[in-house]
Amino acid sequence: MSNMFSSSYRTCQELALSSPVDMLDMSNLQRGLAVPAYVEIAETLADEIAAGTWPPGTLLPTHKELQSRFDVSRITITSAIDELGKQGMVYSGYVGGRRGIIVRPIGRTDHFATEALRSDRIQTSYDAFSENARKVGRKPSKKFDMRMARPPAWIADRVGASHDEVVVIRITHQYLDGEPWARETSYYALDLAQKVGLDTTEDLSQGTIRALKDAGFEEIAWIDELTDESANPTDAADLAVPVGAPLLVQTRTAACSTRITRVSQFHRLGRRNRLIWELGKSAGLEIIRNARQGDSE
């Protein structure tokens, strides 16, 4: 059985006490561990997705159809689908007006984390997310929201706001080929946001980095922190993953020559992204890029 689902194994006693899901027969016991039926079903569906039986962007069979096929309860099918969701293989959504479980593309999508920071970045009318999506051959789309609220204390400290002061929070929900992919949440001190024009309910097609530069607050330094987290209910709703699914969280703190300009947090799907930092001179980077072209997943 694939290691992908090995973390889902539990003992017969634990399952009997904690879960009503169906169990496989004794022939499927391995190393003294019981394999829950939902794990077996999830692995079967994962193999079929990998084989192309259920192509990306299509719907899996309904819960009722899967119940009939595997002869198990609805809760077992739900657990199997949740397991696939935690592995980043499926999500809930609509295809052709029909709601169901949609198959995600297989593999990881490259995100070039330093591309928007390069001094020789080509001037376009797109923000960093849209530029990166086009670079990797995906179609980007976004939903934008702006609000003013008190941030967590540590973010207030970084942007130079008091703990009872509101800041401007700009939230962008990012989609690739219609698939929920990431959420970017950026925090700006209120006075800076007003000077730059970031206290608007409109998205900025060229991106906030260029807007800051145009207003005299060109960013010259950045520190990135990368952590792994489990999806909470808000993350689950925004990214169409089960609660507890793995997320890759990048926190970027940026500064101009005189002050902190922003704190941005990017919540991305775990197991579906490859973050790439490119540092150095163009000639050397080109050598490295050419060497990476043959890399396998």
Question: How far apart are alpha carbons 168 and 212 in whole angstroms?
Answer: 14
Question: Please, what sign has the CA dihedral across residues 272, 239, 47, 43?
Answer: positive
With cut-offs at 50, 70 and 90, classify the pLDDT of residue 297: low
**Which residue, among 81, 82, 77, 1, has the nearest Cα to 35 in the 3D structure?**
1
Average pLDDT over residues 218-242: 95
Name 92's Cβ contacts closer than 8 Å, sequence gap at least 6.
Answer: 99, 100, 101, 102, 240
Question: How far apart are alpha carbons 144 and 174 in whole angstroms?
Answer: 9
Whole-model pTM? 0.80
Is residue 245 exposed (0-12), middle (13-18) or buried (19+ Cβ within 10 Å)? Answer: buried
pLDDT at 295 over 80: no
With cut-offs at 50, 70 and 90, classify the pLDDT of residue 22: low
Helical pair 74-86 and 63-70, crossing angle rounded to 10 deg: 110
With cut-offs at 50, 70 and 90, classify the pLDDT of residue 106: confident
pLDDT at 32: 53
pLDDT at 172 over 70: yes
Residue pair 90/101 in contact by the 8 Å Cβ criterion: yes
Higher pLDDT: 12 or 172? It is 172
Average pLDDT over residues 148-175: 97
With cut-offs at 50, 70 and 90, classify the pLDDT of residue 10: very low
**Residue with tokens 């808000």, as numbered in its chain:** 234
**Residue with tokens 């990998």, as numbered in its chain:** 50
Q: Is 266 helix (H, G, I), strand (E, B) or coil?
A: strand
pLDDT at 221: 95
Name 220's Cβ contacts closer than 8 Å, sequence gap at least 6.
Answer: 255, 256, 257
With cut-offs at 50, 70 and 90, classify the pLDDT of residue 57: very high
Question: How far apart are alpha carbons 266 and 277 in whole angstroms?
Answer: 15
